[in-house]
A and B are shown apart, each in its own frame.
Chain A
Amino acid sequence: MDRNHILILGIGNYLMGDDGIGVHAIEALRKNRMLRGIDIVDGGTKGLELINHFENKKRAIIIDAIDLNRAPGEFILLRGEQITTYLDRIRYSVHEIGLKDLLSTLLLLDMMPDELILIGLQPGKIEAGTTLSNGVKNNLNQLIDRITEIVHA
């Protein structure tokens, strides 16, 4: 495993319930000794400030709440063009400086990693609070396992 060239980035708002899935995942991944040496970043709701974390990375795994109208807590993985399609769909997302801008900027600056994965869970409740809803909380461990598998792959 090429630890130096992998980025694991969790994004979302930790104060808005299931929106913060990515941040919760990062907290758990940081405790995993097998992942030492890998850039594991809590990006929160940050946008372009996250650019530098992609520098010299060949693989980037982005963890987020992903809304595809599935059942709350359902596991979702998107690669390559699936990611673009998904982001284009939510073109009126309330966070205009969000993932979409970040990825567009990476392209413009020729910093896009060879492999990009967007992985996460369908959110259930997005409202003020720092805890995950039950459906999502119960699947967090499964999400962590899948991410760890992907990193080792």
Chain B
Amino acid sequence: MAKIIVDPITRIEGHLRIEAEVKNGKITRAWSSSTMFRGIEKILQGRDPREAWVITQRICGVCTTVHALASIRAVENALGITVPDNARILRNIIIGSQNVQDHIIHFYHLHALDWVDVVSALKADPAKTAKLAQSISDWPKSSAKYFKGIKNKIAAFVKSGQLGIFANAYWGHPTYKLPPEANLMAVAHYLEALNIQREYIRVHALLGGKNPHLQTFLVGGMAVPVDPDSENALNADSIALLLKLQDNVKAFVEKVYLPDILAVAPYYLEWAKIGGGVGNYLSYGDFPGADGKNWFPGGVVINKDLSKAYPLNEKKITEYVTHSWYKYDDESKGLHPAEGVTNPHYTGPKPPYKYLETDKKYSWVKAPRYDDKPMEVGPLARLLVGYASGQKEIVNAVNGFLKKVNAGPEVLFSTLGRTAARAIETLLMVNKTFEWIAELEANMKKGDLQIHDPKWWEPATWPKEAMGYGWHEAPRGGLGHWIKIKDKKIKNYQAIVPTTWNASPRDARGAMGPYEASLVGTPIADPKKPLEILRTVHSFDPCLACAVHVYDAKGNETAAVKVM
């Protein structure tokens, strides 16, 4: 039996360590250990709730809008505030575009290289590559000349020794299955994705101000004015630009991203049976409509049963610290985030160490549970909850995909399923954004320009004490902020980020978290090059919000993978 240690897992946001026992070429047990951002409560206590979002948006840099939004929703929930229709629409557009941009970058920049061998791309025949590309879509960048140019560019990059983002210990791994032409096509698309995302993020500049951090969120609405006749507001020109940006990204998603998934999947079909995980899925729901209902419905799917989505009961969310480096008075019980406490207490081994104490406490991530069950969150969870709820667009999109791959829903509960779900929901959100833009236009036409309701802005209007929570479906899954306001200031604040659900360690019952469960049964061709672990972990799109930008490199200098 071998024990594999992968630390750190690369190409994720944050710090993650996986320990896995391998017997007869398959993972039998796995543990997920990570750091997580602690201290948001400390920083927010005593501050004005109306400014919490400015602070929380800095928790993580990968998608800052999500924490701003969850924070604002928590305050609005606590104070009973409903935002004007235009603010609802603008927020949907911002969320949608954040998800879309994030997913494109995740697939190409963080996940694709698990399936695509860049070095093999250098052996590809550009003419054959052109033929392949043209057979899967009518995306214009598909000539032999184009692919030759890409090949030369990559060759120069590799030759200069500046592998940079292509630096990978696993080139030539036996489980890379794509022919060189598919690899070259994927690498070309990887480069295009970088350009597409930098074009598309102009949406945020349009709606949120020129700075990288959106400036236009506000408790009670938004701060970006909407006025068809004003130069300094969102006007007809802005709408036209928004539509153009949407058109461009839609073309990329339809003609490059989704076709790439469908082109690559047949070579990796066994991954439709690997990486399933806990089989329970949670979505808070999001994208409120004018009728107050969420376009993506919230709910819970249990044990892969797609015939039923259970409605959410907020009180059933708890966090355990049984196997996490925190102190509770009674660690056999989970605590609801409103009673949440974060008392870090490291009892692990002193670095440098070989193993974590996996039968004791082994992670800085708490273990969130719903109804005492581990839950997976993310695009797959959203789609499954939507599917089980009978949400029409989701049902159609998922069934359409299953038809194309000629398979039943069981393939969704896997690493491949998770990866496909991310692409499927990207297209759904891209298309829906056109509707939201149209809603905004319609409001503007009939003279409804309100974007902020100041009724409850002044703290004098607030109750002495208030409690609330803000839920948001971020690119990586369900995000929740819980707030207690007392005497006009923040008294308590807790956040459960999506990756806390997914990267969770075991709970008081010993039930594994999603990463841990999804790794069990994974075949490992070479324990020294556990590419298979990366494929599944990356399918979750980890973001551990570790929030440390410069890591103190005084620790372990040893290699990233150890086999014991």
Contact = CB atoms under 8 A, between A and B. Distances in A.
Interface of A: 11-16, 19, 41-53, 64-67, 69, 84, 89-98, 100-101, 103-105, 107-109, 123, 126-130
A45 to B, nearest CB: 3
A94 B15 contact: yes
A91 B554 CA distance: 13
Interface string B271-308: 00000000000000000000000000000000000000
B212 A41 contact: yes
Contacts of A11: 549
Contacts of B211: 41-42
A101 B109 contact: yes
A128 B164 contact: no
A13 B549 contact: yes
B463 interface: no
A12 B12 CA distance: 17
B554 A48 contact: no
Nearest to B162: A107
Contacts of A107: 157, 162, 164
Nearest to B59: A15
A58 to B, nearest CB: 19
B326 to A, nearest CB: 15
Interface residues of B, number: 52
B155 interface: no
A42 B110 CA distance: 24
Interface in B187-214: 191, 194-195, 197-198, 201-202, 204, 211-213
27 contacts: A15-B39, A16-B549, A19-B548, A44-B61, A45-B60, A46-B61, A46-B212, A46-B213, A48-B194, A49-B201, A53-B212, A65-B549, A67-B550, A90-B550, A94-B8, A94-B15, A94-B549, A95-B548, A95-B551, A98-B549, A100-B164, A101-B164, A108-B157, A109-B194, A109-B195, A127-B39, A129-B39
B43 interface: yes
A54 B330 CA distance: 52
Interface string B97-121: 0000000010001100000000000
Contact of A66 (B157, B204, B550): B550
Contacts of B157: 107-108
Contacts of A89: 553
Interface in B33-84: 35, 37-40, 42-43, 55, 58-62, 64
